[in-house]
Amino acid sequence: MIGLMMAGGRGSRMRPFPEKLTLGGHIPVALRVAGALGSCPAISRTVAAVSPRAPQTREMLAGRMDTMETPGAGYSADLAYALGRLEGAVLVVPADLPLLDADIIERISGMYEGGRWTTLLVSEIYAARLGLSPGVSIRLGDTSYRYTGVSAVDAGRPGSPPRYVIMDDYRLAANMNTALDWALLGAAHYLTEDYGL
């Protein structure tokens, strides 16, 4: 399975912070995600989809993983562009999931049913309990969920009907959508990793 990291955004929602965000003042988030993909046995190749909107990110990732330049026309358009240039099973992850690790990637890859677009969601109520911004939502039945940006798909059949999997896991919910998310996650990282709390 190919691990595709979407890292082409300008990060405009995070202004005034820089493009190459770090968590807790340490490793840039995109490098954390790249490391998680690279250390997962289920992932045979890692690719970063970058764009002219994120030159620092492209430079930072060069030499660490394969990179593919996308037009920078928005997440959905850039994802379609990237999938059109890959083959086989692809695990798509955004570059702003700082708590992503090899364990959760392995679990998600094991859920993939060939040919079906598998999309990971977290419940809105779970994200709210963590104090994180809602992001893009979808309503299924009587419950609201939030897209995590994580999907498993056959690159040759990107238009297949989606299969939704609900996984209320902080590693998927902790998406840095806003400067407030960045501050919250940075504080949590500081307390847990630097002070062992």
For the cut 90, the answer to whether the pLDDT of residue 191 exceeds it is no
> How far is 127 from 108, CA to CA, in rounded Å?
19
pTM over 0.85: no
Concatenating the DSSP letter of every residue in the chain gives -EEEEE-----GGGTTS-SS-BSTTSSBHHHHHHHHHHT-TT-SEEEEEE-TT-HHHHHHHBTTBEEEE---S-HHHHHHHHHTT--SEEEEEETT-TT--HHHHHHHHHH--TTSEEEEEEEHHHHHHTT----SEEEETTEEEEEEEEEEEETT-TTSPEEEEE---HHHH----SHHHHHHHHHHHIIIIIT--
Q: What is the mean pLDDT of the chain?
A: 81
Mean pLDDT for the stretch of residues 46-57 = 89
The CATH number of the structural domain formed by 2-194 is 3.90.550.10
Write the pLDDT tens digit of every residue in 86-106: 999 999 999 888 889 999 999
* Of 56, 66, 12, nearest in space to 34 by CA: 66
141-to-20, 32, 124, 173, 183 alpha-carbon distances in Å: 38, 35, 13, 20, 33
For the cut 70, the answer to whether the pLDDT of residue 18 exceeds it is no
For the cut 50, the answer to whether the pLDDT of residue 23 exceeds it is no
> How far is 19 from 22, CA to CA, in rounded Å?
9
Are the C-beta atoms of 49 and 71 separated by less than 8 Å? no
How much is the pLDDT for 19?
45
> How far is 86 from 74, CA to CA, in rounded Å?
19
User: Which is higher by pLDDT, 104 or 187?
Assistant: 104
Write the pLDDT tens digit of every residue in 26-42: 678 888 899 999 999 99
Mean pLDDT for the stretch of residues 64-71 = 93
